[in-house]
Structure 1
Amino acid sequence: MSLFNTLIKLLTFKLTRKEMLKFNIKHFYLGLVGTWLVGMGRYWDDSGANLMQHLGLGSVIYIFVLALFIWLILIPFKIENWSYFTVLTFIGLTSFPAIFYAIPVEKFLSIETSNTINVWFLAIVAAWRLALLFYFLKQFTKLSMINIITVTLMPICIIISLLTILNLHRVVFNIMGGMRNPTPHDSSYMVLMLLTGISLILSIPLLISYGVGIYIRRKKLNTK
């Protein structure tokens, strides 16, 4: 199966576990290049972004960190054929929907309209990639539904918190000062701030569910 077909099947929730196990270095490079390109597109018109963000390197580093986190939190469940390379390749390939971020709507529309559209782009991409992660974990791990939900949401809560720390500090000061210099991304930042609060609230029940899930999984495997 060609790289393009693999990517389309993955993005349309049709890739099987058997096909995921066939990820190779070409799939990895495709995901890496895609991450780099959409990373540059995400910040190309953001004057407040740093050099690493403009070069797309921040996004590249991000997928390595995210994949490592997902790989580590699943290790205690003792999933067959669970590998960092597979997770990293998958995360890289799911970067392509973020191309929506590169659409320069503020060049053609007002700040208010651009804010609204960027929020919708954020919602679409976030929901799409979250659903892909859920699908991947469901297909690959074969864990119970509650465990899949738990390990799907845990990385997202961390991601949202990190996005807040890395991207929202400038906007927080603007909000406190009355938004004197509005940008097309302000509404997106406001949504992320709201989601950060929700993530903090979910952290404790997710950790409890995670611990219980590992205990039940280990107990089940030991009885076989």
Structure 2
Amino acid sequence: MITTRLHKTLHGVGRRPFRVTASSTDDDEAGKKKAGREREVSRADGASVGAGERDSLAYASGLYSLEEFTNDEWIATIRDVFASGDALTRDDAARLVFDSLREQGLDAKRLTSGIRDSVNGWFRTAVRRGVIARVGQSYEMDCRTIDDYPRDLLVSSLASAIGRTWHSREDAIRATARHLGFRRTGSKIKSAIKSAINAGIRQGKIERDGPQNIRKV
């Protein structure tokens, strides 16, 4: 069974926002409590839910539509599915991704053609990001660790992750890790993306504003 780090927090049933972190278990628990407070729902007298959330029976029950899963959640789920290193046919991989999304709160009982099309689209995205590779009629893990990424792909991934919005270097590292499907930013990931930032600046693909803020050129 595919395991995830996306837990339920809305009164014990809501989904915790996706995070990439190098924090301790205590920090994780503190983040969970904070997320729960931020997403409290008041339904008395027809009051609406918090900004950005749907006031629906699905939301109240902790279930989510396909569209409510973020890009980062999709990529992280695909990385999880292929973590064993086994090659998977497209159909088998789609089934495993679907099962994992259901564990994370997807409000669907069967893998419909529409869901399958969405999953296949994200497989193509994951290939472009170096997460998986197409081998014949199957997919398999491509860059298992950050060390497997070529420098040029890391630089382009950094640029895609931060876009034209100014980011601190630390935020850019976390955004790039999420972009590539990593759920935590350990020392190796931090070091590799820091090097990609410096390479991107030298190549003229990343610009900086002062010592900390960077964005895509």
For the superposition of Structure 1 and Structure 2, which TM-score range results when normalised by the shorter chain? under 0.3
- Normalising by structure 1, report the TM-score: 0.26
- Normalising by structure 2, report the TM-score: 0.27
